[in-house]
Structure 1
């Protein structure tokens, strides 16, 4: 029998949502014997409704990628064993950055925001990202998605009831500076460096991070002795963590972990 690479998992939440997006995932992984840690972001410790009511909050607007990556690096480094890191969206990018720092036993990037230098001119990507980037608007004011923007960027294809429930439970304001940092050196990855096994999950229905962009991200890794895997799910949108078919993705990740 193989020795598990780690029995500790750290979930890293993406932007525009609260850590409650992992509510179904936590017991699923705990039932398989894993210790699960789900850190809240700095300046995002209230529930989604409270954060929306406090909008615009200058503290949220001040969040930067380098500091956020260091924050999660600190949490990861405090664990008794090198953990498995699983992140969504910008959380997926942070997983890539922490894998690069050699802080992860394994890494899973779910619909990851791409590192510096990777971009697409896919129309849905440009439409979903224009508001969060906040060009020609004050950077001291966070960006809060409207429900209509949430429907397009996160929950396209879901029922109106699901879209409404997820918006009020999860949607939060976010820092424009953080989003802009993803195209700077704060998001730089050395794709030729040896790394811990890394899995990319992509969704064919994702408007925010198109599957083609995830595939380009995956293909950039060139170190031949390192495991880098990719899996496309046809039904997954950007709200993949809370879609009705979330368990299929979580189970795929668990099985991939066991194979390493």
Structure 2
């Protein structure tokens, strides 16, 4: 049974009708697909077409999400990945895929199936085989992992938790503005899946890093990210670098986990855009 919404099917049809190279944007926890709106406008101005599906059952707006936060509970990594793969299967041209945080993990899972022509993972959540567990990452995840009952819940971040995990590189005014504008509750399950990945041979966070059909991959790391610190992105890069495809790594100076939505988003987007232009027919 399809999990795609009417709006998502309309986006896919629009992309197909354009005949242009599609880019699929994948958001992570605590955001909605609308967090990519500025990126989509930029990429479409540069000759791409874009789609940005939500996670299954995502509300249509931040306001709706805050009225009904429990809808986010129980979402799991495989379920979300399958939703994006269904969307990609509806495209007539193989897309590039860009994901942030858990979206970056999902983007790599998609790449591992050979479904993307090029992939970018921005401050990606760790997958099975990524061993470092920096203290700042553990503290950031403690809002969920600190209570085992959160496995089955939708969990929102307090402003203080958001400042530490996402907005530590920003001033307090911008941190609060982002929290007010973008933040929604998130499923607790993916964080527990990531935390136990290296103890569970059947984990849904497993990524096929060896598939020669993976295609070019860029890992983007924010220098000051507390949620996904450099130790994690370095480990992701080392594992992915063993693939026969091109694997690149860049670090964005003085940026935290909010790097896709804060006032410096364009710096990150331009790096991603340049990579995809080099790796697709646009270039």
The answer to whether structure 1 residue 228 and structure 2 residue 247 are counterparts is: yes
Aligned residues: 253
Kept after mapping to 1: 8 A contact 2:137/2:229: yes
Alpha-carbon shift at residue 219 of structure 1 (Å): 0.7
Change (3 A) 1:224 1:48: closer
Change (3 A) 1:154 1:115: same
Q: Give 2:205's match in structure 1, choosing from 187, 190, 208.
A: 187
Q: Give 1:150's match in structure 2, choosing from 159, 162, 177.
A: 162
Runs of 4+ in structure 1 deviating by more than 3 angstroms, as ranges, are none
Aligned to 2:236: 217
When you count helix as a share of all residues, which structure comes out higher?
A: 2
TM-score, length basis structure 2: 0.84
The answer to whether structure 1 residue 246 and structure 2 residue 260 are counterparts is: no
Kept after mapping to 2: 8 A contact 1:204/1:210: yes
Alpha-carbon shift at residue 119 of structure 1 (Å): 3.3
Change (3 A) 1:161 1:79: same
Aligned to 2:51: 37
Q: Secondary structure at the match of 2:268?
A: helix
Gaps of 5+ in 2: 1-19, 198-202
Aligned to 2:121: 109
Q: More displaced, 132-141 or 70-79?
A: 132-141
Question: What does 1:78-227 correspond to in 2, within 5 Å?
Answer: 78-182=90-194, 183-184=196-197, 185-194=203-212, 195-223=214-242, 225-227=244-246
RMSD between superposed Cα atoms in Å = 1.6
Alpha-carbon shift at residue 211 of structure 1 (Å): 1.5
Q: Deviations over 1:170-216 (max 9, x none)?
A: 11111111222234320112333322100000011100000221011
TM-score, length basis structure 1: 0.92
Kept after mapping to 2: 8 A contact 1:147/1:167: yes
Q: Give 1:51's match in structure 2, choosing from 61, 65, 69.
A: 65
Aligned to 2:5: none
Q: Deviations over 1:134-187 (max 9, x none)?
A: 533353321111111011111112122211221111111111112222343201
Kept after mapping to 1: 8 A contact 2:133/2:232: no
